[in-house]
Amino acid sequence: MENMKKKFYRALTIAGSDPSGGAGIQADLKTFSALGCYGMSAIVAVVDENTVGVTGVHPIPVEFVTGQIRSCIDDIGVNAIKIGMLHSAELIRAVRTILDEYPLIANIVLDPVMIATSGDPLLEADAVETLRQMLMPRVRIITPNIPEAEILLGKRISSQDELPALACELSHRCGGVSVLLKAGHLHDDKLIDVFYNAESGETLRLESDRVTTVNTHGTGCTLSSAVAAGLAKGMTIDAAVMAAKDYNSAAIKAGAGYHTGHGHGPVHHFHNFW
């Protein structure tokens, strides 16, 4: 009888906690729920932040983080994992080690969180190379924005036309991973993200209308979680990325009509429901 029961699509987020609810673990779990997945979380840090900025980061002991990950995988299991803010090289190495204990888990999405929407740094400087060399080759897709891609590439990005070649270059420099390069920080009239699928060698242009709004807190977390949700549900990587782009764009557009906080407000994760 137990074997006849339905099973949830299961998605695990490994990230920091945002008490204001717009980014981090909270945004990830909202996204998983909105897209039909059972969400679980391993909290790596308690972040003191709101729509205005980050006041402080209180790290969770590394062994406690890895314990949370094991507890979720060993008991409930996962169909996909989203990784967000990993603030230190020690934590990055620990996450890579524990992922290697589960070699069959392939659907891993890494949002290389380095800078908050407010501009506050979220990743220690010495951890960038550890992230690139140790963790990125283990995941299936990374989702950097323009400032994060500039840090990873070590050069400035100034135009939309550069993005396809730079997404491919990022893939090669980060262990052959697929790359969703987000164009939100450019100032063109159209917002055109670029996805380089390292598994097929093809590049997709993902175009959407640019929405004039300050409510962009947690957009990166939301997009990467949406990709993970699609992979958890069995979508191809192209389909998961395209569906995530559509969901995130609609969440930004719907959230633009709300006033939340005194800075960068959140997107509307449940725009399909209310």
Task: Say how far apart CA 157 and CA 166 lie, in whole Å.
Answer: 9
Catalytic residue among 66, 130, 216, 260: 216
Q: Does residue 221 have an active-site annotation?
A: yes
Please pick, among 21, 39, 84, 220, the residue that the annotation labels catalytic. 220
Is 182 among the residues known to form the active site?
yes
The answer to whether residue 219 is catalytic is yes
Q: Are 241 and 195 in contact (CB under 8 A)?
A: yes
- The greatest distance separating any two alpha carbons of the chain, rounded to the nearest whole angstrom, comes to 59
What count of Cα atoms within 13 Å lies in the side-chain half-sphere of residue 98? 23
Residues 156, 150 contacting (CB under 8 angstroms): yes
CB 271 within 8 A of CB 251: yes
Q: Which of 30, 82, 182, 233 is catalytic?
A: 182
The Cα 23–Cα 116 span in angstroms is 9
Q: How far apart are CA 123 and CA 87, in angstroms?
A: 4
* N-term to C-term CA, the chain: 36
Known catalytic residue at 257: no
Catalytic residue among 143, 219, 222, 260: 219
Query: For the chain, percent helix, then strand, then coil, each to nearest 5?
Result: 40, 20, 40
22, 221, 245, 260: which is the annotated catalytic residue?
Answer: 221
From 218, 230, 255, 265, active-site residue? 218
- What distances in angstroms separate CA 168 from CA 35, 199, 216, one per listed residue? 29, 12, 27
- Read off the tokens for 61: 């002991």
Identify residue 165 by its one-letter amino acid code. Answer: A
**Which residues are part of the catalytic machinery?**
182, 216, 218-221
